[in-house]
């Protein structure tokens, strides 16, 4: 057996365990009876511990040494070289992070989430604050163990977005704010758009039927997946052969489930599009974040969901083609609505308190606010006790609205209670990338917009699969972007997209 | 940390892995998209390998030595002593069975099932025969590795029914045949019972609603489980907090799904009734069969399902109480049927070719036929090539009917193709035990039959939970039976039950 084959067999088992963890997670969120939470937690902790032990083991060190020697002559961008390099990076981190710290973080994350679940509805930030402080202390220890040059946030970003760092994000945010804030001021001064008909009664079964129809048109393969309902929509994969997604149905608000399904379909097309030969390899496994996922980074993954949800699913050509079909499902609810009214309603811009309800223009402002706060929390410029006031001030500065309660403010998201610092940037990175990718697709694929307007999504999907999906985690954000678009990461195409679309909607 | 605590922590992780395997199995049978079969198989193989490695490890040997020394002063029937003993037994077997043989069996089982799936509909026994021969050769090797005194079947029974052996089963079968064959001859000479109304159109949704209503009355806790549909009904548990069951709906045959649910509810009550302190212990883990299961043995488990399905669910008092409710769900289908007609129809005795469709009287004859054949195959008295003819002869001798094809004969069950030799006896052992337990319950619980006739199932359930369920795998079949009933294993109570019930139905 060659050294690489032995290495690959070891990694295949690790991927099996990560995929199994994904299934346990899927089951928790969609099927599991409520009383099973505690024992399921123990089962997941055991599996996670086994993965961590195997990832940090001396045996893997030896396999890596031998595999590295063997692939030295391979092309530097070959799958084998990249698989070995990716595991080497994760292995190096595993050697620097003490198992006791991982254990302490796991315990504190569980406690933090439990306290947050009670503190949020009770509007009781003071109750949550000491736990957030502990999570921040442990996260700073984690950053120190992983190591960084400029900012502790950079070390935490290694888990989600390794090419990014605090300085790059700060520059990105300045560019975005300079483009978005003036646009938003013009929009909020314009007359409000009527979207009241979106709040009529829309039965879930028809929402689901329409959503699945579109998911199929986008290219989702139902033989290699399934669609369920859950409290928070998500996509999760147990290899490219089993890519599941969920959505949430609100019968008194139409867009939620439908655009949710478009969004998750974007994620799912990514996972289903990974090359078969990457199945069970390191290039379909995130050994830093400990997650079986085939997308290059969180941000690149998000670019695919945003692309199908917004650039396609919220576009005028899409609705001019599909609105009649939607009206087949809801003939009375949409009897007095025309396609332009509908298009304007689902693209209505309205500053609001809640991130997950935000439109395309204001969404990134919610993200920037959070990322700026978490950077400050980590480097010590911001104290936990000052968070509620800072939150309100930034909301007011960026969005012109401020929450009356912490429930609708600093307590609204689960992320920090779960000790996740560094995942929020992915949403904005995804938005920015989606415009760069769409721009490149239009250059590369002749007649792309005609095909899209005709409902032929195959040319776009095939191009995305060929350029992005099939490579799995072979390339990082910057290298992938350069190969696909020939460009560096930049906010300009995304800002141009926003200005063009919303300049026309809010003249 | 005490030696026992260390041992228990090691075992808890093993139980977590077995429970995880159970969830993967449940998902395969109820949720998994079809294209995922191969990668799911790899995931399950990896988990199984990890369990086997940990079960055979020198570390477990050391933990066992130390725990044994520590629990020496405990009561001999205490949970700690029994947990250690049970793991010692499994560990001893793991040391005797070569890993290469386990691997060869796993490969051959997968091949055998695949070939069987094609050979069965094609009525092509010759195609399946060489694979069955290989499976038998490997199973004899397994029996030799495990070790036995009298018969290779005894070694294989250790995986499912350790107190049983070929000699005991042979004696049991003689007693059953002596009681059942004359009864069956009388019944087949009697006028046929009309059951045609059971084959009307019964929508699945109402079948489900009625079945769940009864499962709830029997005591199934929906907070700690869920009920799905699957091609073959089963119950499976991921700790007592998560006990799931399935059934299969046939819209043109009412009894299948309903009695299937009663049956699985019996299994589920067992698993839900295990003492909380046995969660994640060896007494909720089968380390010989490699399965997270809390029931003492396969046969004892089956006694609980048969008890609720047949002794309760097919009884006259049950239907006199619940028939009106069933008719609420199916008012037109059952408009011209009265409760006595219904009771007689669901207890109709009719020799048939297919085991899973058999009634209470003929069911055990199907089992005996199989067990006699598999004993002969293992000890070499029977050649695989003679199986189809032997099958037909035994069917004719026992049931008075014989299959025209092997599809309806020797190829009908999946068990042998999966290399399972020794699981069939559990069905008959369960029937026999169900009568002994029911007999003991009537002696022990004052007013039991009045309560049952009034639909109060709590006295029976509580007695079963207290005497049987809560102990998990603490006691083997014989010891448990003695503790619960004060009796040895015996066919007489079951035969008395059959003669009384069917003597009255077929006078």
> Does B75 reside within a domain?
no
Q: Report the pLDDT averaged over residues A360-376.
A: 98
Q: Which of A114, A134, A157 is the last residue before a domain boundary?
A: A157
Is B241's CB within 8 Å of A38's CB? Answer: yes
Count Cα neighbours of B420 within 13 Å in the Cβ-side half-sphere: 13
Q: Are residues A388 and A462 in the same domain?
A: yes
| Residue B274 to residue B276: CA distance in whole angstroms | 6
φ, ψ for residue A421 (rounded to 5)? -120, 115
Q: Report the pLDDT averaged over residues B312-317.
A: 98
Q: What is the DSSP string of B416-446?
A: GGGT--S-THHHHHHHHHHHHHHHHHHHHST
Strands B243-247 and B235-237, by their bridges, are antiparallel
Catalytic residue among B161, B264, B271, B372: B264
Catalytic residue among A235, A264, A372, A408: A264
Is B16's CB within 8 Å of A223's CB? Answer: no
How much is the pLDDT for B1?
A: 80
Q: Report the pLDDT averaged over residues A138-153.
A: 97
pLDDT over 70 for what percent of chain A? 100
Which one, of B300, B285, B309, lies nearest residue B237 by Cα?
Answer: B285
How much is the pLDDT for B247?
A: 95
> Does B354 reside within a domain?
yes
**Helix ranges, B219-359 (H):** 255-272, 298-306, 316-329, 339-346
Nearest to B16 among A12, A32, A43 (CB): A43
φ, ψ for residue B15 (rounded to 5)? -65, -40
Choose the mutation target among A14, A29, A36 for the interface with B, i.e. most B CBs under 10 Å: A36
Tokens linked to B137: 């050769």
Strands A235-237 and A243-247, by their bridges, are antiparallel
Nearest to A39 among B39, B40, B279 (CB): B279
Q: Are residues A251 and A268 in the same domain?
A: yes
> Does B295 reside within a domain?
yes
- Which string of b and e fits A183-197 if b means at least 16 CB within 10 Å? bbeebbeeeebebeb
pLDDT over 90 for what percent of chain A? 96
**Domain enclosing residue A178, as ranges:** 166-505
Q: In what order do the strands lie in the sheet with A235-237?
A: A227-229, A243-247, A235-237
Q: Give chain A's domain count.
A: 2
| CA A441 to each of CA A465, A472, A473: distance values in angstroms, whole numbers, following the listed order | 12, 19, 20
ipTM of the complex: 0.94
B474: domain CATH number is 1.10.1370.30
Active site residue B264: yes
Residue-wise pLDDT for B367-417, tens only, equals: 999 999 999 999 999 999 999 999 999 999 999 999 999 999 999 999 999
> Does B409 reside within a domain?
yes
Residue-wise pLDDT for A261-307, tens only, equals: 999 999 999 999 999 999 999 999 999 888 899 999 999 999 999 99
Q: Are residues A144 and A184 in the same domain?
A: no
Q: Which of A120, A140, A157 is the last residue before a domain boundary?
A: A157
How much is the pLDDT for B291?
A: 87
| CA A122 to each of CA A127, A411, A413, B153: distance values in angstroms, whole numbers, following the listed order | 10, 10, 14, 63
Give the pLDDT band of residue A308 (cuts 50, 70, 90). Answer: very high
Q: Are residues A467 and A430 in the same domain?
A: yes
Q: Are residues A147 and A175 in the same domain?
A: no
Nearest to B34 among A27, A42, A223 (CB): A223
Q: Are residues A146 and A257 in the same domain?
A: no
Nearest to B224 among A33, A238, A242 (CB): A33
> Quick one: CA torsion of A210, A216, A220, A222, rounded to 10 degrees?
90
A279 neighbourhood in chain B, CB within 8 Å: 39
> Does B112 reside within a domain?
no
- Give the 3-state secondary structure of residue A228: strand
Which one, of B59, B61, B56, B48, lies nearest residue B95 by Cα?
Answer: B56
Report the residue of chain A nearest B14, measured CA to CA.
Answer: A46
Q: Are residues A108 and A194 in the same domain?
A: no
How many residue contacts between A and B have a Cβ separation below 8 Å?
A: 105
B227 neighbourhood in chain A, CB within 8 Å: none
Is A47's CB within 8 Å of B17's CB? Answer: yes
Residue-wise pLDDT for A220-263, tens only, equals: 999 999 999 998 899 999 999 999 999 999 999 999 999 999 99
Please report the residues numbered 291 through 320 in chain A whose beta carbons come closer than 8 angstroms to any beta carbon of chain B.
none
A19 neighbourhood in chain B, CB within 8 Å: 39, 43
Q: Are residues A144 and A218 in the same domain?
A: no
Q: Are residues A436 and A341 in the same domain?
A: yes
How much is the pLDDT for B57?
A: 97
Q: Are residues A192 and A267 in the same domain?
A: yes
Count Cα neighbours of A370 within 13 Å in the Cβ-side half-sphere: 25
φ, ψ for residue A31 (rounded to 5)? -130, -35
Which one, of B267, B269, B261, lies nearest residue B208 by Cα?
Answer: B261
Residue-wise pLDDT for B226-267, tens only, equals: 999 998 899 999 999 999 999 999 999 999 999 999 999 999
Q: Report the pLDDT averaged over residues A334-352.
A: 97
Q: What is the DSSP string of A410-443?
A: TTS-SGGGGT--S-THHHHHHHHHHHHHHHHHHH
B43 neighbourhood in chain A, CB within 8 Å: 16, 19-20, 238
CB A428 within 8 A of CB A142: no
| Residue B109 to residue B418: CA distance in whole angstroms | 5
Average pLDDT, chain B: 96
Q: Are residues A241 and A356 in the same domain?
A: yes
Average pLDDT, chain A: 96
How much is the pLDDT for A291?
A: 87
Whether residue A17 lies within 8 A of chain B, CB to CB, comes out as yes
H helix or E strand, kind and range, residue A47: helix A37-55
Q: Are residues A298 and A333 in the same domain?
A: yes
How much is the pLDDT for A442?
A: 98
């Amino acid at each position: 057996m060659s050294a690489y084959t032995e290495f690959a067999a070891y990694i295949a088992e690790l991927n099996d365990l990560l995929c199994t963890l994904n299934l346990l997670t899927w089951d928790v969120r969609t099927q599991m009876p409520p009383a099973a939470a505690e024992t399921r937690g123990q089962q997941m902790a055991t599996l996670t511990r086994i993965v961590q032990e195997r990832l940090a083991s001396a045996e893997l060190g030896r396999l890596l040494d031998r595999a590295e020697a063997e692939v030295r002559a391979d092309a530097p961008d070959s799958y084998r070289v990249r698989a070995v390099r990716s595991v080497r990076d994760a292995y190096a981190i595993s050697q620097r992070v003490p198992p006791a710290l991982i254990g302490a973080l796991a315990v504190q994350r569980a406690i933090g989430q439990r306290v947050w679940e009670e503190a949020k509805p009770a509007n009781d930030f003071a109750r949550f604050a000491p736990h957030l402080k502990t999570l921040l202390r442990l996260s700073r220890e984690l950053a120190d163990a992983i190591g960084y040059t400029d900012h502790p946030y950079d070390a935490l970003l290694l888990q989600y977005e390794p090419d990014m760092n605090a300085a790059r994000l700060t520059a990105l945010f300045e560019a975005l704010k300079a483009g978005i804030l003036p646009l938003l001021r013009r929009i909020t001064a314009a007359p409000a758009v009527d979207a009241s008909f979106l709040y009529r009664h829309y039965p879930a079964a028809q929402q689901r039927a329409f959503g699945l129809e579109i998911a199929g048109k986008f290219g989702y393969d139902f033989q290699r997946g399934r669609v369920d309902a859950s409290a928070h929509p998500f996509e999760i994969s147990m290899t490219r052969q089993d890519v599941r997604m969920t959505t949430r149905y609100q019968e008194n608000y139409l867009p939620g489930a439908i655009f949710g399904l478009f969004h998750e379909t974007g994620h799912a097309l990514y996972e289903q599009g990974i090359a078969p030969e990457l199945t069970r390899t390191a290039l379909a496994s995130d050994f830093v974040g400990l997650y079986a996922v085939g997308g290059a980074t969180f941000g690149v993954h998000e670019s695919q969901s945003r692309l199908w949800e917004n650039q396609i699913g919220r576009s005028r050509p899409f609705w001019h083609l599909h609105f009649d079909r939607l009206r087949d499902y809801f003939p009375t609810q949409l009897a007095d609505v025309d396609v332009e009214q509908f298009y304007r309603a689902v693209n209505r811009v309205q500053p609001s308190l809640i991130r997950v309800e935000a439109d395309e223009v204001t969404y990134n402002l919610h993200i920037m606010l959070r990322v700026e706060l978490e950077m400050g929390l980590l480097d010590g410029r911001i104290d936990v006790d000052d968070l509620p006031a800072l939150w309100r001030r930034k909301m007011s500065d960026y969005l012109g609205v401020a929450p009356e309660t912490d429930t609708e403010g600093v307590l609204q998201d689960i992320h920090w209670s779960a000790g996740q610092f560094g995942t929020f940037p992915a949403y904005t990175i995804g938005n920015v990338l989606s415009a760069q990718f769409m721009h490149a697709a239009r250059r590369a694929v002749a007649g792309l917009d005609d095909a899209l307007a005709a409902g032929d999504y195959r040319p776009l999907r095939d191009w995305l699969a060929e350029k992005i999906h099939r490579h799995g985690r072979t390339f990082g954000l910057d290298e992938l972007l350069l190969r696909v678009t020939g460009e560096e990461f930049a906010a300009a195409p995304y800002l141009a997209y926003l200005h063009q679309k919303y300049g026309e909607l809010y003249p």
